[in-house]
A and B are shown apart, each in its own frame.
Chain A
Amino acid sequence: MAATLDQLFVQLLHGMTAPLPEAIRPWVALAISLGAILAVFGLCFGITTVCERKAIARMQNRLGPNRVGPYGFLQFAADGIKTLTKEDIVPRTADQVVHFLAPLALLVPVVLTFLVLPFGRNMTAMDLEVGLLFFFAAGASTELAVFMAGWSSRNKYSLLGAMRAIAQMLSYELPFILSTIGVVMITGALSTTKIVEAQAAAPGEWLARWHVFTPWGLAAFLLFLIAAFAESNRSPFDLPEGESEIVAGYFIEYSGFKFALFFMAEYLGMFSSSGMAVTLFLGGWTAPFAFLDWVPSWMWFFGKLGVLIALFIWVRGTTPRLRMDQLMDFAWKFMLPLALIILPTAAIWHYAGRGWLGWLVTAPIVVGAYVLLGRSLVGRRRIRQRSYRYAAT
């Protein structure tokens, strides 16, 4: 029973493609998978927007949307209809072609990144040997689309937003990729499926071998997550669209459905980076404990994804925004050195073994590096808590 549930979607796909001739079968399978990904994550996008609004509302002691549908959960449908029927305004002086292409150029690579994510056992749409590389290549090309949008709108705010976006995304691309190298070193594979399989519990062990359970893995996971915040322009790194400063940043001149596409691409980007974080550090579709293996694998994946998205929302409800130079400082003076220190730590871990010796050697390195780098980052700017005096009388 558990096994059938686990492989339900795989069997379904197999059944749909089996009658077809051998030559076109992989293509049709890919197309169906892509359609399923679009449908599932499109729905996820809708539900996440509602959940985000409700969760942030609760953090702010409000009720949040509660008028459309049960508990307001159909709000996203109402929003979708609204954006579809809104007038699409293109500035007269905008570069019409580029302005039109930018949302598409943003959405397509984001959707492509989902192809290499393993959603469950045997549930990778395109099981590439260099899956990780493909993920980063496709993900990085969104930067072009953002700049296309900002530049073609011919608006000063959108240009500022686009400049910020380019600088930010390029800077955070480095720690984003470097933090994953440790995983590649340890597992010796670029294929996402193999990386997940390497993290499953070994026979006879009760705890899974998720990379996040190691000192270097935890640090790399946090680095990856922070970089993912920056890559998907989420608070506290939402400078490219910083509402209070540059109004809406690079998509200020977009309205109607094109705006919705930008919005959707942002959320899909968040899903795909969270999915990659799950794959690399949280064991993908594997269960954390051996005795929980009976739960279908895709449930594990989506459960972990949900937890990470909740974290994204939580952070958004809490933090103010960084400034551009501080953002750069943080990327180049804190995250990059830390990522470079984590690399040899992973190597040491590999040779010291998973036991207490590994912990004893690697944990102090990671913690020490974190404390020292953090202190130098803060100390350089003389940021500290202050005490205040009162006037005499």
Chain B
Amino acid sequence: MPSHGGATAKVPTEAGAPRGPDAYRLTAGDNEYDDGSLLEISMGPQHPSTHGVFRMDVVLDGETVVKLKPVFGYLHRNHEKIAESASYLAAMPYTDRLDYFCSLTNNWAYALAVEKLAGLQVPERAEFLRVITAELTRLQNHVCLAGFLMQDMGASGTPLMYGFREREKILDLFEALTGARMMCNYMRFGGCRCDTPPGWLEEVRKVVDRFPRFLDEFENLLSSNEILMARTQGIGVLTRDLAINAGITGPVLRSCGVDYDLRKVDGYGLYPKFQFRVPLGDHGDTYDRYMMRILEMRESLGILRQALDAIPEGPILDPKSKLRGFRPKPGEAYGRIEAPKGELGFYLISDGSPNPYRYRIRPPSLINLTVLEDLCLGHNVADTVTILGSIDIVLGEVDR
């Protein structure tokens, strides 16, 4: 009989499957977990609930996670280097593809950085349009997140379908305004690309007016559901200190009670003009992270109503801005916004040439993902999936 250590019993060779007890040993054979008591499973990149091509190398004791190694990079597209070799404008459509749920906020963050670099002024109507599209983006991102989280919990798609039903209406608005549903490519340096088509603002108002009905329905369906509460409360607790030290931002940070929302802190765009509140959680668990999104959606609706009431007529593009031969003065700039997933920042260095010398993104998804192992250790394998879902990552942004 082969001994239990080392390389004797492993993945079977071409000659045929090994027989005897070793044939059924499921550990990899030559790693540190080879005493047979721990089980190493690879969740992803082809797993139903890893939100894209993401892999978690999980070591289980029974069903309890004792080690978790996130593996990513399957979707690396060399975005930053491509942007450094293309013109400033040509990077704009690529930013759509970072976090492909929120192309408009990505556009905004990049436009903000370039505007700082080149000293462009955004006309007021364009600022309003930016706020409206960004808040609509936030709505549809959070709706999808809540739906996917429930899907990870095994709710056979019902909440996800409700979320998609509402998201569809918002995507229709994006299509009417920008020409594309997801890859909007709408904002330009110093404004927006095109003005609203006739009747668009009324359509937005209709969607905004109907949205609370959907939110109430969604909360009826789930927020007080005992199974949901049992599955999420006290699971994946993120402490305040760890969150701050790890640089977590967005709803995940606010769920542990840290009052940090760039819309308030930086006051970029026209946000200081609007009345809205920042919801805070006290526990930092999956349920709080879920509820942060639900509550933020209600605040976003408030911002949208105010913006729709106050939007002025006027130009939408700074006349100094030009599409061809755009060469900002040498210098550097960092533009950041509160994207639905957290702080999205673009750092640019210009050397006076038509393409940026350095182009760097601070992706909220990637930085929020770094605490995954801390959140998952000691929990059940079923919880890793919900914790991952509640962090809200998009692999296009993680891998870039």
Contact = CB atoms under 8 A, between A and B. Distances in A.
A129 interface: no
Nearest to B151: A244
A92 B14 CA distance: 10
Contacts of A388: 279-282, 291, 295
A242 B385 CA distance: 11
Nearest to B299: A390
B291 A316 contact: no
A319 B151 CA distance: 10
Interface in B218-236: 221-231, 233-234
A216 B136 CA distance: 52
A196 to B, nearest CB: 34
A390 B278 contact: yes
A323 B383 contact: yes
Interface in B157-185: 157-158, 161-162, 165
B49 interface: yes
Given A320-B228, A321-B154, A385-B223, A244 B48 contact: yes
A85 interface: no
Interface string A234-274: 01101100111111000000000000000000000000000
Interface in A14-46: none
Contacts of A239: 382
Given A245-B385, A382-B234, A325 B278 contact: no
B259 A391 contact: yes
Nearest to A321: B154
B150 interface: yes
Contact of A326 (B162, B231, B264, B281): B231
A62 interface: yes
A92 B17 contact: yes
Interface residues of A, number: 48
B381 A391 contact: no
B161 A385 contact: no
A240 B383 CA distance: 15
Given A238-B154, A243-B154, A326-B231, A156 B48 contact: no
B154 to A, nearest CB: 3
A261 to B, nearest CB: 22
A86 to B, nearest CB: 19
B322 interface: no
A148 B261 CA distance: 53
A274 B26 CA distance: 38
Nearest to B228: A320
Interface string A36-74: 000000000000000000001001111000000000000
Nearest to B283: A386
Contact of B229 (A235, A317, A321, A383): A383
A320 B49 contact: no
B49 A244 contact: yes
A391 B380 contact: no
Contacts of B234: 381-382
Contact of A244 (B154, B165, B295): B154
B69 interface: no
A388 B278 CA distance: 10
Interface string B25-61: 0100000000000010100000111000000000010
Interface in B244-270: 259, 261, 264
Interface string B303-321: 0000000000000000000
Nearest to A318: B158
A385 B158 contact: no
Contact of B225 (A159, A319, A384, A386): A319
Interface string B376-392: 00001111010000000
B75 interface: no
Interface string B357-394: 00000000000000000000000111101000000000
Nearest to B287: A386
A121 interface: no
B382 A390 contact: no
A393 interface: yes
B155 interface: yes
Contact of A321 (B153, B162, B264): B153
A160 interface: yes
B63 interface: yes
Contact of A156 (B41, B154, B228): B41
A236 B230 CA distance: 13
Given A59-B158, A239-B382, A391-B279, 15 more contacts: A60-B162, A61-B165, A160-B63, A236-B154, A242-B382, A245-B381, A245-B382, A320-B228, A323-B231, A382-B233, A383-B226, A386-B288, A388-B279, A388-B291, A391-B261
Enumerate the 4 nearest inter-chain pairs by beta-carbon distance, A residue then B residue, closest first.
Answer: A321-B154, A60-B161, A320-B153, A244-B49
11 contacts: A61-B161, A61-B162, A245-B382, A246-B381, A322-B230, A323-B230, A381-B233, A385-B229, A389-B279, A390-B278, A393-B264
Interface of A: 56, 59-62, 92-93, 151, 154, 156-157, 159-160, 164, 235-236, 238-239, 242-247, 316-326, 378, 381-386, 388-393
